[in-house]
Structure 1
Amino acid sequence: MPLYQSPALVLRTMRLGEADRIVTFFTRKYGKLKAVAKGALKPKSRLSGRVEPFLHVNIIVFGKEKADLFRLNSIDIVEAFMPMRERLERLSRAYVSAELVDICQKEGDVNQAGFDLLLSFLRALNQDMPKDRQELLLRFFELKFLSSIGLEPALEKCVICGAEPKGDKTGFHPAQGGVVCSRCLPGSPSAIIATMGAIKLLAKGMSLPNERLSRLSASPKLILEVDRLVNRFISAHVARDIRSERFLKL
């Protein structure tokens, strides 16, 4: 059977019997795939400690092309992100990001932009930053990842009429995926009120390179508004709730 080699990020693991694990990888070359890590639960196994969530690794798996389950042949750790693991607020956001990717990324669909985004996000979480910037970073990761699979929010023109929104009285339509101008807002009961400041912040974040997202800052009020808008957008377009979100409230 052919071998497949790729940089990868560990999204999650599941116990299989007494000694093995099923590992869900997000690979740069092949998209999301699952592989059996034989003996990974044995203390003396060469795979022990190398298939934990959020590890950046290089893997070799083998199996039939487009198989439902591959076999892990070898794995080398590139980055472990230890400082992130030692802080609950950072680790919680890593779990949210991995769960979103796991839910939304189809197995076998290559998404190099999404892989690079998640890797950049984990590297940013590995650095010291205030909680408010961590929150903004997470919300922009979510929007950018959804954009990488074709769910980019429309922030420049009204999703109803196509006009450029003006003034501070604007809305955001989660289901239709974008901003609503003041003229269309009264006739759009499913839209939620949004300040132009929040819309502009969303647009700015979406335009920035991944490595600069961690530098974004805003007032606590604006961060709360962005948090609300992004969560409503996710609820409208993602098949199920992100259960890891509850860890952010601890």
Structure 2
Amino acid sequence: MDKKVKAIVTRAVPYRESDMVLTLVSLEEGRLTASARGCLKPRAKLRYAAEPMNFGEYMLAGKGDRYIVTDCVQYDSFSPVTADIDKYYAACMILELLTKLSPESQPGIFLGAVKELKAMAYEGKDARSAACDFLLSALREGGNGLDFSVCADCGCILDGDAAFSDSDGIVCPHCAPWDAIRVDAASRAFIAGENRDVPEAIKIRAVMLLSDFLYRTQGVRPDSSYFKEQE
């Protein structure tokens, strides 16, 4: 059965001499696998459709879980992202998490990924802020939204250190249980959007904290190689 979906290529693996096996995450159905036949041949008309980060309307033919890409109307390639190594790594992390979080349709997470890719490509948004905001979006869409400005327990305003509690979310140091994860003041302010002009080490620490919170609440985290590349 033929179908038409709005999708992003999150992974592309060479297969045989000239084919690619694509992991697509679609707005309508979530994660799909499709073959792009002959796309590695010189002058292949659908080569662009097999590039990671390509966003478009894909025409698929097949049945069950086996599809072939028959055509694609490209919406965006977000190609400027590839010119900046930090943005490229952040984009790879976003695509990886989008794949893991989308066994079925997740419109909010899908649109969050598109928003951050667009912001990095055309709006001058830095890589760490994009990664941070996508993680916040993924937590929120998974029903685990975190407020880094107010203690979830006593309601006090957070303007310094905070902590993450599995049961309550973000709390002040006074309300934090013994096993809570400490969130230092600089990381908290970065995540909350109060101060994004901080050293790279703080930005990376903030993204690592959010990744840990995502794992604790939704069982998914980025591959550790992303953080190794940031060292």
Q: TM-score, normalised by structure 1?
A: 0.77
Q: Structure 1 residues 45, 56: closer, same or farther in 2, change over 3 A?
A: same
Q: Secondary structure of 1:142's partner? A: helix
Which residue does the alignment assign to 2:206? Answer: 226
Structure 2 unpaired stretches of 5+: none
Residues 13 and 20 in structure 2, CA contact (< 8 A), matched pair in contact too: yes
Question: How far 1:167 moved relative to its partner?
Answer: 5.8
In 2, the alpha carbon distance for the partners of 1:193 and 1:25 equals 35
Output aligned runs, 1:10-21, within 5 Å.
10-21=9-20
Segments of 4+ in structure 1 off by > 6 A? Answer: none
Q: Structure 1 residues 240, 155: closer, same or farther in 2, change over 3 A?
A: closer
Residue 183 in 1 paired to residue 174 in 2?
yes
Equivalent position to 1:105, from 102, 105, 114? 102
In 1, the alpha carbon distance for the partners of 2:158 and 2:133 equals 24
Question: How far 1:91 moved relative to its partner?
Answer: 1.1
User: Percent of aligned pairs with the same residue?
Assistant: 20
Residues 39 and 46 in structure 2, CA contact (< 8 A), matched pair in contact too: yes
Q: Structure 1 residues 7, 53: closer, same or farther in 2, change over 3 A?
A: same
Question: How far 1:191 moved relative to its partner?
Answer: 2.6
Structure 1 unpaired stretches of 5+: 206-215
Q: Structure 1 residues 173, 86: closer, same or farther in 2, change over 3 A?
A: same
Residues 92 and 247 in structure 1, CA contact (< 8 A), matched pair in contact too: no
Residue 127 in 1 paired to residue 107 in 2?
no
Question: How far 1:233 moved relative to its partner?
Answer: 1.3
What is the number of residues matched between the two proteins?
A: 229
Residue 163 in 1 paired to residue 154 in 2?
yes
Q: Deviations over 1:141-188 (max 9, x none)?
A: 1220232233323546655xx321346565322644721233322x32
User: Which deviates more from structure 2 when the two are superposed, residues 95-104 or residues 223-232?
Assistant: 223-232
Which residue does the alignment assign to 2:136? Answer: 143
In 2, the alpha carbon distance for the partners of 1:78 and 1:193 equals 39
Q: Secondary structure of 1:49's partner? A: helix
Which residue does the alignment assign to 2:113? Answer: 118
